[in-house]
Structure 1
Amino acid sequence: MPKMKTKSGVKKRFKFTATGKVKHGFAGKRHRLMSHNAKYIRQNRGTSVLSSADVAHVRLWAPYGLK
């Protein structure tokens, strides 16, 4: 049986922590930032831990984990 493939969008958007949690970045930070105020940009800086309800989907899309 061949290996299952990881979804290419998941490779770009998520990382697994050492304890098995899933980190993600925030949407709306790439371009057209003049339409967002400074508070929005500041609060969505960095990464956050994904909610537990969504972790199951990401684990299905990355069957062998991510680096």
Structure 2
Amino acid sequence: MPKMKSHSGTKKRFRLTGTGKIMRAKAFKSHLTGKKSQNRKRGYRQETEVSPADRKVIKARLA
């Protein structure tokens, strides 16, 4: 049987750290930013860890 392919969309949205955490970009950054404060927009730049409920599925799609 051939190897399973990694899910292309998942590869673009998540990354694995050296310690095995799955990181993702924050939501609400892409549009309607004129009304959001600079502090709020700055907070969207940092990555955050994926929630425990989603880890299993994402890890399987990255493998």
For the aligned pair, the TM-score class normalised by the smaller chain equals 0.7 to 0.9
Deviation at 1:53, TM superposition (A): 1.5
**SS of equivalent residue, structure 1 residue 58:** helix
Q: Which amino acid aligns with 1:18?
A: G
Mapping 1:9-28, distance limit 5 Å: 9-28=9-28
**Partner Cα distance (1:40, 1:27) in 2:** 11
Confirm or deny that 1:32 pairs with 2:16: no
Percent sequence identity over aligned pairs: 37
Give 2:53's aligned residue.
Answer: 53
Distance 1:28 1:14 in 2: 17
Number of matched pairs: 62
- Residue in 1 that maps onto 2:2: 2
Q: CA RMSD in A?
A: 1.5
> TM-score under structure 1 normalisation?
0.76
Moved over 2 A (4+): none
Answer with 39-48 or 18-27: which moved more.
39-48
The DSSP-based 3-state class of the residue aligned with 1:34 is coil
Q: TM-score, normalised by structure 2?
A: 0.80
Q: Structure 1: give runs of 5+ residues left out of the alignment.
A: none
